[in-house]
Amino acid sequence: MNFINKYELVKAARGKIPVDVFFKNARLVNVFSGKIEKTGVAVHKGVVVGFGNYKAKKTVDIKNRYIVPGLVEGHIHTESSMLEMGEFVKAVLPYGTTTVICDPHEIANVLGLEGITYMLQSAKYQPVDIYFTLPSTVPATDMETSGARLSAVDLMPYFSQKWVVGLGEVMNVPGVLENDREIFDKLKIAFGKAIEGHAPGLMGKDLYAYITSGVHSDHESFGKEEALEKLSAGMTIMIREGSVAKNLKTLAVLVNDKNQSRFCLVSDDRNPIDLVEKGHLDYTIRKAISLGVDPVSAIRMATINPARHFSLRNAGAVAPGYFADFIIVDNLSKFRVLNVYKRGEEVARNGKALKSRKPKPVPLRSSINVKWIMPAHFKLPAASKKVNVIELVPDELITKKRVMPVKTENGFAVSDTKNDILKIVVVERHKRTGNISQGFVKGFGLKKGALASSVGHDSHNIICVGCDDESIYQAVLAIIKSGGGLGCFQSDRQEILPLPIAGLMSDRDLSFVYKQLKHLHKASAAMGCKLDDPFMVLSFLALPVIPDLKITDKGLVDVTQNKFVKLFV
């Protein structure tokens, strides 16, 4: 907001001059008073200037519907939508999202500063305000090979940009607790801004030490006891309801009138199918209300609470001096977004964006750099009769560590489709190290073929799960040849969604990505997979900061003990 306009805004607020737009016959959801107020809303120069009755150049009759503040996404990795920024905006804007705080650590782990610059440039001039937290942990740990390593010195110049509002999720909890100099340098340069947390299962004195370092929030609470302890210790609890990790059902019961200001609703990761078929934060608000959360509290958790957390002084409310970013809904419980206004201008109506902007092309280098692979690289000599197995936990990012018998053929350990114990491999794709690690996972249900992806959080090496070694080899090879993507592979056919932007995002529109991903899900189901979103689940099996057992290009990681473990027991 240009300060010179304040003189005119004051005149408009006092009724001395006609306002630009007056919205009459509205039921305003006031996130400050917690009340529903019958009133009119006056907007001038894109700013709310008052309530009641005003003379205006233009009048819009709300017809007794609800005016709700524009929704504020407090934590998301937009790369998980597999859409470039303009298409992501086109996807979420009709659902009432007018402000987004994203952490670009996915692309940063692949392309470093080049990736961050790409995201900042892509976010410019969009009809949604897009803010950033800078990735704090690139790589997330030294137990994997990433495409970049970012120091505090690398990040420091970006903190001067107004669109940078904090330091992204601090995943390196052991580094914080052991006073690692590199992570503390990043905490130091972020002082005065929001510092986001990532501490699954952390409690007691270690939690207190983590918070004392300067971390303000956490979106990784899986249980009520854990979330309550973090809340009592002063953290903002970001309740995540994403495409894989769904914590709302467990944590919604904790929200009440006394503590609702300390909760935010966030997505973390949301795939294009969920964006098209379910929505964005509007869906999360509906679900929170269905679980017993008071409607106004649910709205606060997706508007004023995240705005205050990130010190966005003009977002998150419909009140004098705030940007005129708001939505119209006809029923708070059903929470169906009819119209979306940005700076007082209608930008979406009945599920369709009226304004969108395709970012100017930003050149990016290829992100697939794999050492030559051969079928022999995917043979695994059996060293014993039992192995450590990664067992999936439904609707969670956490996994279980199990010791189970391994199937062998001609002295090699192979997938056991009868018992749903499948081989999983990770192939390093950034520096031609030749790293290929192998393990076993239970829970996919595949009966034939293989699934492969260049999306493998957080370092995004190629990850593949399959029923036989030949399918796994062919799947990995096809991802390499396509320059990144997701794919289903069988001996007689293959289906691929190309992701040429860092191996994470498509350069096609939302409709194409949605349809192709649906097609892949249908193909994976025909191969026996029993997961709703197998590719998102697969991608998180390479994340060595969420318990219990994960796999990187360097081997199996026992996350709880923060060390590598042998595959064969």
Instruction: Please tell me the distance from the alpha carbon of residue 373 to that of residue 377, in angstroms, as a whole number.
Output: 7
Residue in the block written with tokens 């026996």:
528
**Tens digits of per-residue pLDDT, 117-174?**
999 999 998 999 999 999 999 998 889 999 999 999 999 999 999 999 999 999 999 9
- The whole-number pLDDT of residue 393 equals 93
**Tens digits of per-residue pLDDT, 364-397?**
888 999 999 999 999 999 999 999 999 999 888 8
Instruction: Please tell me the distance from the alpha carbon of residue 90 to that of residue 130, in angstroms, as a whole number.
Output: 13
Q: Which of 204, 152, 156 is nearest to 180 (CA)?
A: 152
- The whole-number pLDDT of residue 367 equals 93
Cα dihedral 450/451/453/459 (nearest 10) = -80
- Hey, which residues does 100 pair with through a beta bridge? 73, 130
- The whole-number pLDDT of residue 361 equals 72
358 pLDDT exceeds 80?
A: no
492 pLDDT exceeds 90?
A: no
Cis peptide before 548 (omega within 30 of 0): yes
| 1 confidence band (pLDDT: 50, 70, 90) | low
Are 298 and 258 in contact, with CB atoms under 8 Å apart? no
Which domains are present in the chain?
70-316 (3.20.20.140), 375-565 (no CATH)
Cis peptide before 139 (omega within 30 of 0): yes
- The whole-number pLDDT of residue 4 equals 54
Residue 277 burial (CB < 10 Å; 0-12/13-18/19+)? exposed
Longest CA–CA span in the chain (Å) reads: 89
43 pLDDT exceeds 80?
A: yes
Q: Which letter, b or e, does each residue of 84-118 get, where b requires 16 or more Cβ atoms within 10 Å of its Cβ? A: bbbbbbbbbbbbbbbbbbbbbbbbbbbbbebbbbb
Helices (H) and strands (E) in the chain, counts: 17, 30
| 439 confidence band (pLDDT: 50, 70, 90) | very high
| 351 confidence band (pLDDT: 50, 70, 90) | very high
- The whole-number pLDDT of residue 3 equals 59
Tokens of 184: 């503390």
Contacts of 543 (CB under 8 A, 6+ apart): 140, 397, 457, 458, 550
443 pLDDT exceeds 70?
A: yes
- The whole-number pLDDT of residue 244 equals 83
| 5 confidence band (pLDDT: 50, 70, 90) | confident
- The whole-number pLDDT of residue 397 equals 85
Instruction: Please tell me the distance from the alpha carbon of residue 164 to that of residue 178, in angstroms, as a whole number.
Output: 28
Residue 415 burial (CB < 10 Å; 0-12/13-18/19+)? buried
- The whole-number pLDDT of residue 235 equals 98
The DSSP call for residue 128 is S
- The whole-number pLDDT of residue 356 equals 65
Global pTM reads 0.93
**Tens digits of per-residue pLDDT, 275-325?**
999 999 999 999 999 999 999 999 999 999 999 999 999 999 999 999 999
Strand (E) or helix (H) holding 263: strand 263-266
What average pLDDT does the chain have? 95
359 pLDDT exceeds 90?
A: no
Query: Which of 85-89, 211-215, 351-355, 546-550 shows the lowest mean pLDDT across its residues?
Result: 351-355
